[in-house]
């Protein structure tokens, strides 16, 4: 078998059906070595989606009945493929009046900004956006690397906090997200979905730490106030709860993307770290989120996309590994911008990631050199070797 068609790190355990390794947070395997996301994919084939849709219709009709003169629901929207499809379903299929709410990461791509504005016009929805200032974003991005070994804490935290604040302050109880947690995560399945709304959901699954955990010499509590969640009392008083459309209607990324491209003119763009052109198209820094995941866990967005395509029968597992290995190991151009806004050298960036690797990998023996003290002269050439080790040059 071609080495490129095998896992990058063969000493790690991988799902026997897709391309995801044991270092995925929350991953579990059954007795056959099949991960929960693959099990969920099988479950989709055995669900009565007509019955599930009836439950969704009941939820939406009840929301409209209680809304009165207010908005029926809140749709957190980035302009990405999922949120545009959500607006289509809610406005065109169920005749809902949503309030679109955007937390802007302040890293919008040109394509993403077009898609956001195009969606607002196409669906004629009212819209609220919050954008943290650029200096604050730069400081949070630097601190984020030390705290969660990811560059995007401000986006993870803001996406969770801002829509909740709007829901509580405007008295709009229902928030509607898109893809089910079961679609590509080990945190739930379609037979056991996330039913109970949890105001700290995004903190647990992506932000990892609350704003007080980000306080440092460059970030004060006052700086981080916009990222605080509304209180439990505020949420309960407003009756805030949330649902994922993907728990009630059959979710198909590929078909949905083709649909919104054809009907609404949604645009794809070249994405770093993946062979697909639609995931996180609204963000010019998405490649950094995926690159840090690869460095600390040994997989990136390419593995996630390849695994989804394997589950959907679009690729063989071997083809998935080949595409994943090419995409995951790509050094993103966004790294240069990140180094510029944080004042780091590339060697310092790799040093800070190195500190998190063993903790993130839960004892899995990744190909690192932990016995020597980290220093820029050692880590920079070593990490570059790891990054490029099985990747052909893009020109090839």
What is the radius of gyration, based on Cα positions, of the chain? Answer: 21
pLDDT in tens, 287-298: 999 999 988 888
Q: How far apart are CA 68 and CA 194, in angstroms?
A: 28
Q: Judge whether 29 and 186 are in contact, CB under 8 Å.
A: no
For residue 217, is pLDDT > 50? yes
CA 80-148-311 angle, to 5 degrees, is: 50
pLDDT of residue 196: 54
**Residues in Cβ contact with 57 at an 8 Å cutoff, skipping those fewer than 6 apart:** 94
pLDDT of residue 378: 40
**Residues in Cβ contact with 238 at an 8 Å cutoff, skipping those fewer than 6 apart:** 167, 168, 171, 172, 173
Q: How far apart are CA 356 and CA 359, in angstroms?
A: 5
Q: How far apart are CA 40 and CA 56, in angstroms?
A: 20
Q: Judge whether 283 and 338 are in contact, CB under 8 Å.
A: no
pLDDT in tens, 331-373: 899 999 999 999 999 889 988 888 776 454 444 433 333 323 3
**Least trusted range by pLDDT, from 3-7, 94-98, 167-171, 205-209:** 3-7
The CA–CA distances, whole Å, from 382 to 3, 376, 393 equal 21, 10, 18
Q: Judge whether 306 and 320 are in contact, CB under 8 Å.
A: yes
263 alpha-carbon distance from chain centroid: 25
Query: How many Cβ atoms from other residues are within 10 Å of residue 210's Cβ?
Result: 16
Greatest mean pLDDT among 150-159, 277-286, 325-334: 150-159
Q: Sketch out the chain's domains with CATH numbers.
A: 3-34+276-363+372-388 (no CATH), 55-247 (3.40.50)
Higher pLDDT, 367 or 321: 321
What is the mean pLDDT of the segment spanning 23-50? 93
Q: How far apart are CA 117 and CA 124, in angstroms?
A: 10
Q: What residues does 100 pair with on adjacent strands?
A: 75, 127
pLDDT of residue 197: 64
Higher pLDDT, 360 or 89: 89
């Amino acid at each position: 078998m071609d080495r490129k068609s095998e896992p990058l790190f063969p000493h790690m355990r991988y799902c026997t059906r897709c391309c995801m390794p044991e270092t995925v947070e929350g991953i579990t395997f059954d007795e056959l070595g099949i991960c929960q996301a693959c099990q969920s994919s099988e479950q989709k084939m055995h669900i009565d989606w007509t019955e599930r849709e009836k439950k969704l219709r009941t939820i939406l009709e009840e929301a409209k009945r209680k809304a009165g003169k207010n908005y029926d629901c809140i749709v957190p929207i980035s302009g990405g493929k999922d949120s545009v499809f959500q607006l289509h379903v809610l406005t065109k299929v169920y005749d809902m009046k949503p309030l679109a709410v955007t937390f802007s990461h302040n890293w919008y791509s040109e394509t993403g900004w077009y898609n956001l504005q195009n969606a607002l016009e196409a669906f004629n929805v009212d819209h609220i956006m919050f954008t943290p200032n650029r200096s604050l974003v730069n400081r949070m991005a630097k601190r984020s690397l030390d705290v969660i070994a990811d560059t995007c804490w401000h986006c993870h935290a803001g996406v969770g906090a801002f829509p909740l604040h709007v829901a509580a302050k405007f008295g709009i109880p229902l928030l509607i997200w898109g893809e089910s947690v079961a679609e590509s995560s080990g945190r739930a399945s379609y037979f056991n979905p996330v039913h109970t709304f949890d105001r700290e959901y995004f903190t647990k699954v992506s932000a990892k730490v609350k704003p007080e955990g980000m306080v440092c010499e460059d970030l004060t509590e006052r700086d981080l106030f916009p990222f605080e969640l509304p209180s439990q009392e505020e949420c309960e008083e407003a009756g805030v709860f949330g649902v994922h459309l993907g728990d009630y209607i059959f979710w198909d990324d590929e078909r949905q993307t083709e649909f919104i491209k054809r009907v609404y003119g949604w645009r794809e763009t070249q994405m770093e770290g993946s062979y697909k052109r639609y995931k996180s198209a609204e963000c010019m820094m998405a490649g950094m989120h995926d690159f840090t995941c690869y460095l600390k866990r040994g997989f990136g967005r390419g593995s996630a996309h390849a695994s989804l395509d394997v589950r959907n029968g679009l690729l063989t597992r071997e083809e998935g590994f080949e595409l994943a290995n090419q995409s995951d190991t790509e050094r993103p151009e966004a790294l240069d911008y990140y180094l510029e806004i944080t004042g780091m050298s590339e060697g310092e960036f790799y040093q800070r990631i190195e500190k998190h690797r063993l903790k993130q990998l839960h004892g899995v023996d990744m190909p690192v050199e932990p016995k020597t003290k980290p220093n820029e002269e050692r880590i920079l050439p070593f990490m570059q070797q790891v990054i490029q080790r099985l990747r052909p040059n893009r020109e090839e």
